[in-house]
Amino acid sequence: MAIWLAGSVFIAVVATQNFYTIDRLLERSPNEAFRVVVELMENPSARDFLRYLSSELNRLYFQYWNLVQLPVGIIALRLVSRIPGSRHATWGIATMLCVVLFLMVFITPSMLSIGRSLDLVHQDPPSPSMRTFGLLMATYSALTLVNVVLGVLVTLWIQKEHPSQEA
């Protein structure tokens, strides 16, 4: 469960920091060569280019993380299901796996496709696809949060039902 929870938190932090880092670098990068390139590209173009790169990286991270969660979840389910009296934990992990499958099949592919269609396209006025993308991202984030909460509950249930025998 620690791997699953840590991975979920890590992906959330990385995905958000990718975009914040762009603005931080554009404002005050310590690298002189970077600042020269940004000036040559003109700041708005450099920002758009860097946001596109961050978006592609985030899309890659989301896809890989979805794939990694499956074996992690299956291993956790197998291990926990062998513990007598761990019914709540077993159902919690099974639910987490269902959430991951739902994200993989229904949310992530649409999120990636619509996100790519919005890259490097000025949204003035915002296109309807931007709203759809926002809803998909919110759904992805909310379901990931559900999995984190379930993961914490599963960990607590396991600990409560089978406390350590250490002195």
Mean pLDDT of 68-79: 97
Query: How high does pLDDT run on average in the chain?
Result: 93
**Domain tally for the chain?**
1
Supply the range of the domain harboring residue 20.
2-160
Query: Residue 167 has what pLDDT?
Result: 35
pLDDT per position as a tens digit, 98-118: 999 999 999 999 999 999 999
166: confidence class by pLDDT, cuts 50, 70, 90: very low
Residue 126 lies in a domain: yes
**Cβ-proximal residues to 103 (8 Å cutoff; 6+ apart), any chain:** 66, 140, 143, 144
Is 166 a member of any domain?
A: no
**How far is Cα 52 from Cα 50, in angstroms, rounded to an integer?**
5
Structure tokens at 58: 């985030």
Is there a domain that residue 50 lies in? Answer: yes
Q: Is 167 within a domain?
A: no
Q: pTM for the full model?
A: 0.89
d(CA 122, CA 102): 31
Nearest to 157 by CA among 72, 94, 90, 77: 90
**For position 101, what pLDDT does the model report?**
98
> How far out from the chain centre does Cα 117 lie?
20
DSSP-derived secondary structure letter, 52: H
Question: Tokens 């269609």 map to which residue?
Answer: 117
